[in-house]
Structures are given as structure tokens and as C-alpha cells.
Structure 1
Amino acid sequence: MKLVSRFEAAHRSTAELNGLLREATLAFAAAPRSSQERRDALASIQNIESALAVRPPRL
């Protein structure tokens, strides 16, 4: 999986971020331990969750 940067995450819609979060979570689970792919997936998850955390909740 390609790393999702904080900048990229900030410019995506909430729906897109939720989809990317799912992809990153699956990539993290499937990647071998200590691999660059796993580190990228984890960083992406953190960046996506940070971007979602600052958005107001939808009703």
C-alpha cells in the first residue's frame, strides 16, 4: 500500500478516508512483520485517523 500522508489525508473526503482506513488496516494485517509495507500501512492508519479526529461528527 502507498503511504497516505497527513497532507493527502487532510484533502480527502470523510468517505474516502474511511475507505482508505479499511484498505490500510487490511494491508497492515497482511504485511509481513517488520516490513516496510507494514510500517507504511501503520503510518497511513495514524495519518488517516488524525485527519478524521479533527473533523466534526456527522449526524
Structure 2
Amino acid sequence: MGTDDKIANSTEKTSGKIKEAVGDATDNRDLQAEGQKDQSTGSLKQAAENVKDAFK
């Protein structure tokens, strides 16, 4: 997996955590859900990259 992919996936997960925290603080359920979705998406992308690397 390329370094760029790792950085992008980590950034997506981190931004998701921030969105979720802001959503918690402001009681904004939409922002909380969007943050959770971003975290999940980043994790899934990371897992897919790990699988690709395992088959190289």
C-alpha cells in the first residue's frame, strides 16, 4: 500500500472522529452520523488495501 493511501485513510478516520465529537458537543445527530460514516469508510478502505497487499 502506498504512503498516500495510508495518509488519506488515516485522515478520513481522523476527520470522522472530529465530526463525531463536534456532533456530540452540539447535540447534532446528523454530524455524529456523518462522523461515524467517515470513520467506517476510512477503516474499510484501509482493510481493502491490506488485503491487496497480502496478495502481492
Displacement of 1:34 in angstroms is 5.9
Q: Which residue of 1 aligns with 2:42?
A: 48
Question: What TM-score comes out, normalization by structure 2 length?
Answer: 0.63
CA RMSD of aligned residues (A): 2.1
In 2, the alpha carbon distance for the partners of 1:19 and 1:43 equals: 13
Higher relative contact order (CA 8 A, sep 6+): 1
Question: What TM-score comes out, normalization by structure 1 length?
Answer: 0.60
Once superposed, which parts of structure 1, at least 4 consecutive aligned residues long, lie more than 2 Å away?
none
Secondary structure of the residue aligned to 1:50 is: helix
> Which structure has the bigger radius of gyration?
2
What is the aligned length?
46
The alignment-based identity, stated in percent, is 4
Q: 5+ unaligned residues in a row in structure 2: which ranges?
A: none
The structure in which a higher percent of residues are helix is 2
Query: What code does the residue aligned with 2:18 have?
Result: L
Is 1:23 the equivalent of 2:12? no
